[in-house]
Amino acid sequence: MLSGNHLIAGDWVAGEATFASEPAHGEAHDFSVGTPAHVDAAVTAAEEAFRTYGYSSREERAAFLEAIADEIEARGAEITAIGTSETGLPEARLEGERGRTTGQLRLFASHIRKGDYLDRRHDKALPERQPLPRPDLRMIQRPVGPVAVFGASNFPLAFSTAGGDTAAALAAGCPVVVKGHSAHPGTGEIVAQAISAAIKTCGVHPGVFSLVQGGTRETGQALVTHPLIRAVGFTGSLAGGRALFDLCVARAEPIPFFGELGSVNPMFLMGNAVKARGAEIAKGWAGSLTMGAGQFCTNPGIAVIVDGPDADAFANAATEALEPVGAQTMLTDGIAGAYRSGRDRVAASAGVQELLTSTCDLRNATPYLYRVSGKDWLTNHALGEEVFGPLGLIVTVADFDEMLAIARSLQGQLTCTIHMDAADTEEGKALMPVLERKAGRLLANGFPTGVEGCDAMVHGGPYPASTNFGATSVGTLSIRRFLRPVCYQNMPQYLLPEDLR
């Protein structure tokens, strides 16, 4: 059952204005519009909750995360039903994403139980040291305080209400205020119901989590500029993320903004690999490019290859693999419109050749494939901007030196991929120092669509892929975004945090 209201510190709160959801199919529902007043109430409650939750034990927080996962699974059928209606995503995708969401929560529960993330250090006192004695020094990572999280349009579960940012913040000991995404408000409310139930089961302060639905830009601005918010997690567009980032920096007391803003995720195809298995790579690329209507931030939109007969064969194979792919429903009308605008921008660029065109309208997306020379690509930086959807661009370079020039010209990326065989080792070695400076994750002979939630994963990269190149929004390392090191000097045992005693 949907209330259409905000969850603020344990209460379902209505607003004066409402907005209607815009489902891909099925019934629309009305939801309250969030306001700065709702934000203030939620953040104030989060600060109150931090006084206890920020000092709770790791075991208490781990049990809370596991309870949230259990409550989400108990609502699995309901979440799938509303999620598919709102987003147009197939049931299998929603069920898989729900499993990833609960998996993340349980992963963080296990992670904080181990305690390694605390990075505990102890330099014992040296009272006899000359010329000066050394005091007793202990260091540990401590939670920063209330965290704001913005739900993502393309992941209604794994990157939204109880997604990776929320899981990492709660694991760290930080209360969370989520600004729900208007593309899937019903899904967000049901997940919030699950979190609310877990709060009651575990006896946690209700201010530890709030969900503010919808709202104008003013609402989002009120959230990131609220003086009690200590950090922000965001997954979304470059324009929206940069606007919020600028607000965080302009605050009287600036705070970190951890924005994941997308990328084109280029692939570099080495000559021997293309000669040996170019058609196989092309087929795999087509599958990765069109998965989920291309609505993944790790969608590999660009393939860089040395011009010649092998490049022609690769282009033909990719075209053949993409031709049978039918129309897919996109997440929102706005995303579909932006996809068509991106298509038009690429198609109208100088030197761009159309390899596969199709017709898509309304909320549908069909694949497009284009080809351009490396020379033309290097003179048109707009071709390196993300087109969110199943659009591919083959960049044919004159030689490996021009391929290196393409790599050096890249902006920050989430991923970069090299397709190579053993005979391509020298070229691979030449590319690696360049690509390491461009992306957070480097792949060999694979496709980046899909991100594993685990200890070693990095989902981030230099700007504009993300706003903080030293962080990741996926994997256990993401907890560090919501922690800060504190050193205790000559502190009595009974005043130390429990984990330092």
Asked if the bond preceding 131 is cis, omega within 30° of 0, the reply is yes
The CA dihedral of 246, 250, 254, 260, to the nearest 10 degrees, is 0
Give the separation between CA 290 and CA 320, rounded to whole angstroms. 13
Please give the structure tokens belonging to residue 193.
């119901």
Q: Which residue has the tokens 């999620």?
A: 83
Cis before 464? omega within 30: yes
Contacts of 494 (CB under 8 A, 6+ apart): none
Number of helices (H), then strands (E), in the chain: 14, 21
Among the listed residues 71, 97, 260, 402, the single catalytic one is: 260
Q: Are strands 209-212 and 176-179 parallel, antiparallel or unpaired?
A: parallel
Tokens encoding 71? 């409550």
Cα 364 from Cα 57, distance rounded (Å): 48
Using alpha carbons, select from 205, 207, 208, 148 the residue that is nearest to residue 180.
148
Tokens representing 271? 């000559």
- How far apart CA 324 and CA 326 sit, in angstroms, is 6
Residue 260 falls in the annotated catalytic set: yes
Q: Which residue has the tokens 């860089």?
A: 304
Helix spans in 15-56 (H):
36-53
Is residue 248 part of the annotated active site? The answer reads no
Pairing of strands 137-143, 121-123: antiparallel
Phi and psi based region of residue 99 (left: phi greater than 0; alpha: psi -120 to 50; beta: remaining): alpha
Q: From the candidates 248, 297, 360, 416, which is the catalytic residue?
A: 297
The amino acid occupying position 149 is V
Active site residues: 260, 297
